[in-house]
Structures are given as structure tokens and as C-alpha cells.
A and B are shown apart, each in its own frame.
Chain A
Amino acid sequence: MSDRTNDGSQLDRLPATADERVVEGRATRQEVLDFWDERYAVAPEIFENYSFWEKGGGKLWAFRGAVASPLEAEALGMTFLRTRQEHWKPTTNAVQRFGRHAEKNVVELADAEARRFVAGEDQPIDWDGDWGYLIAAHDLAGEREPLGVGLFIDGELRSQVPKGRRRELIDGE
């Protein structure tokens, strides 16, 4: 059993449900599955072979497979969800990896909008769905492809692509 606080040097596996929770405030596996299902309609089965981990408060990781918990390591799988704020926020990389299974709260951007989005810009968009964190996607090579997370608020989509991932893309024409 792990100790009762979050330790920045080790990864702890999330408890399955609230009954098994030891560290106060830690998200549970069930809550994580519910979040993806309720917010984006990503089916829980998508994460069947994944274990979820926390390192440092509020930063969750998804790992394909299982290893013994706790684990002393720099990283395990992919950082994929931030749970510190009231509204949970998926990472750009998680949305790119799992967002193609999403059926809800996905906003499809036209080419010019998509380019602005990956450059990190905020822009007005036409969206009459939920507020909050949306999955931004565009059409690429014949299929929808998720770009990252945008915060939709006051008619504007605010790109959440982190600085290191932003790109000024070459012009298509």
C-alpha cells in the first residue's frame, strides 16, 4: 500500500473506486472512465487495458499495461488528464491518442481554423454545444483527426495546445 500523500518522485496507481481510496482527493479509476464517457462519449472499453496513475497532485497518467505500484520512475505511459481544477482537462497528447473514439463535444474546424488552432491562437467559432473543454478536430487525409483541446467560452475557442507543441504549418497551396 502506498502512503497517504502524493509524492512527486513516484507514481501511484489510482484506486479502482472511492471505497479503496487512501490518498484524500485522489481521483479513482471509475471517475476517470466516467469523465471520458460523459464528457466525450469515449467508451470505457477503450481504456480496458490501461492502468491510471498519479504523480504529483492532480496529474494523471495512462499506461498500457500494468506494473507494481508505487513505481519510482520519471514517467509511465502518457500524461493524460489534469484533475486539480473543478473542470478536468485532458492533455493535447491524450486527445490526439484517444480522441478519435469521441462522439461528443468534438468541434470540427475548417482548414484555416485548424491552422490557427495549432499556432496557439484564440478565435471565434460557430458552436452551439456545451461550454468548457472541447476536442478540436479537422479532416486530414480523408478522416477526422483530433488536434487537441480547446476551451470554448463566450463564442471563442481558446487553443490549449502547449507552447512546445504549437506549429506554424507550411502553406498547403
Chain B
Amino acid sequence: MDVLERYESLVDDFSAFRAACERPLPSVVRVNGIKATPERAMDALDDEGVEYEPVEWHPGLLRLDSTSPGRTWGAYHGWLHGQEEVSTLPALVCDPDPGERVWAACAAPGGKATQLAALAGDEGTIVANDRSLGRLSALRFNAERLGVTSMAVTNRDARNYSLKPFDFDAFDRALVDAPCSCEGTIRKNPDALDEWSLEYIDSIAATQESILRRAVQATRSGGSVVYSTCTFAPEENEAVLDSVLSAEDCRLVEFSCDLETRPGVTEWQGEAFDESVRKAKRIYPHLNDTGGFFCAKVEVGG
């Protein structure tokens, strides 16, 4: 079965969408502000003779013209971290300040959680959690290489996460970068859709809803929760938001982003969602030459 066909009605230029899904992704690195400025990181690449191109919408991102970005001085020193361009969006939307407590509910292997730490100047408290111990060891390795010192790492199920070990009872912000069917990673993993099934989508959607609900509950009134996936399926995106909006005290809010995006969809296969899901953003691969992505910002209480 051709999975992507099911999105034909959602995507305006469907043939461009299909064509983009076939192309491999450019190699992108994020400059880690904890250890280097973009200027210094670019100087080091210049010295090594590695070509790059800054990404227009985000000053800390570079498209590298190299097949081995891991073998640069910048990578060794933890100045650079390989991260897909579009996957830098949720941490930017979350945008924590120094001193804030942030929960990264599904954090491994840590690309976004370490970015959150950097955005808070490594002066927040980032609680990075994941259910998979194996993936957490990759997160810990990345966090240390990037010089992150403001992170606590926990290994628990985010659906019923307890704040008990900590001496505070709510986070200021949370990021739910949920486990998903990963359709949007097709450019990076051409076999991403091999295991696709509706049953999986239904079961993972239930998990996504539980984790997002828990994140809303664990965030103080006035705080915010960012929800993101790398999939196109409305079942895992707008439908999850719709359920959480009716179950918890929260609402969707607008956010700005210099990437080309499309609003969340309010209808899918005969089901209608709350109108406010239009405030969420869908990113299709052909719009900015990236992977596929979904991102929403939720404000808690009031």
C-alpha cells in the first residue's frame, strides 16, 4: 500500500510533496551555544576547508557540504551537533529562559533537550526523560559532549510521570516530542514506512494523548507545553490535540516561525477537530526542503 497517498487531500502541491519525499536530506548541524558562537564555529570550519551554508531562518544552523561532519574539530569539541533542520523548531518554540524548569518528556537521544539547555544559557533546569534506557545512554553521551551541565536525566514512563524526586511540584515549560509513526523521516530513512499500519497509529495516538495530558498537568498555570511529531497523520497530531483540549485545562496559542508552514487541519476522514488546531503548524518536505514535521504550542490554565 502507498501510505503517502492518504494525504493527497491535505497537501496543495502533491506531486512536489512526493518528489521531495524521494530526495535525500542535506546534512545540517546546529551550533551549540554552550561551547561556541556561530562565528567561531564557522571560523573553525573555514580553517579545515569544510564548506557550509548558513540556514537563512536560523542563525545557529549550518548546511554542511561534507559527508563526514563527525570528523571535524567542531564535532570533536561539541561545538556542532548533527540535527535535522526542521527538528530544531520545537525547542525554539519552547524557548526557555535561564532559571526555568523544563521537562523534556521523550528526550532521547537528546537533540532537542540539549538545544533547550543551550537556549536557557545552560542556566535552567532541564529534566530529560525517556522510557528507553538504551536511548538514554546516547542522550547522556550527547549532553556531556555538548557541555550541558543543567540537565537531570530520568528513565520513566512519561504517561504517569511523578515529580516526586524533585523539590518542586510543577514545570514552567514542557516539550513532548512524541514517539510517532515517523512518516516525515522518509527522506532520512527510506524504509520508514515499511512497518506502517493503522493499528500502530491508533495505539501510538493513545500513548501520545496520555503523555501530552501528563505534560499539561505537570506544567504550572501560565506555563506552556510544546507538542511535536515527525509524522503527517492527523490521528497523531490534530486528533491528539483535540482530545487533550477537551480533557485538560489548556488552549492552543499562535507562535511564529520563519519556515514555510501550513495550518493544522480541522477535518480528517469524517472527523472534525476543534477550530483552534489551525494554530498548529504542519511542515511538508517540499515547503522548505526539510523532513516532515508537526508542531503545536499549548498554554496551560487561565
Q: Which residues of A pack against B, CB within 8 Å?
A: 49-50, 62-65, 67-68, 71-79, 91, 93, 96-97, 118, 140-143, 145, 147, 164-165, 167-170, 172-173
Contact = CB atoms under 8 A, between A and B. Distances in A.
A114 to B, nearest CB: 9
Contact of B71 (A50, A62, A169): A169
A78 B149 contact: yes
A76 B73 contact: no
Contact of A71 (B72, B140, B152): B152
B75 interface: yes
Given A93-B144, A143-B40, 13 more contacts: A64-B150, A72-B154, A74-B133, A77-B151, A93-B147, A97-B34, A118-B76, A140-B44, A141-B40, A147-B77, A168-B71, A170-B66, A170-B68
Nearest to B154: A73
Interface in B1-58: 34-35, 40-41, 43-44, 47-50
Contact of B43 (A65, A142, A169): A142
A2 to B, nearest CB: 13
Interface of B: 34-35, 40-41, 43-44, 47-50, 66, 68, 70-73, 75-78, 122-123, 125, 133, 136, 140-141, 143-145, 147-155, 165-167
Given A64-B122, A78-B148, A97-B147, A73 B153 contact: yes
Contact of A170 (B71, B154, B155): B71
Contacts of A169: 71-73, 76
A64 B154 contact: no
Contacts of B152: 63, 67, 71, 73, 75-77
A77 B114 CA distance: 12
B149 A97 contact: yes
**Main SS of chain A's interface residues?**
mixed
Given A74-B140, A140-B73, A170 B50 contact: yes
Contacts, number: 105
A75 B140 contact: yes
29 contacts: A49-B123, A63-B152, A64-B123, A65-B123, A65-B125, A65-B150, A67-B152, A68-B167, A73-B152, A73-B165, A75-B140, A77-B151, A78-B143, A78-B144, A96-B35, A97-B35, A141-B43, A143-B40, A147-B77, A165-B76, A167-B70, A167-B76, A169-B71, A169-B76, A170-B66, A170-B68, A172-B47, A172-B48, A173-B49
A71 B44 contact: no
Contacts of B43: 141-142
A141 B43 CA distance: 5
Contact of B47 (A67, A141, A164): A141
Given A71-B152, A75-B140, A172-B48, A140 B77 contact: yes
Most buried by A among B122, B136, B148, B165: B165
Contacts of B125: 65, 67
Contacts of A143: 40
A77 B44 CA distance: 27
Most buried by A among B47, B152, B154: B152
A46 B41 CA distance: 24
Contact of B149 (A62, A68, A73, A165): A62
Contacts of A141: 40-41, 43-44, 47
A75 B114 CA distance: 14
A77 B125 CA distance: 10
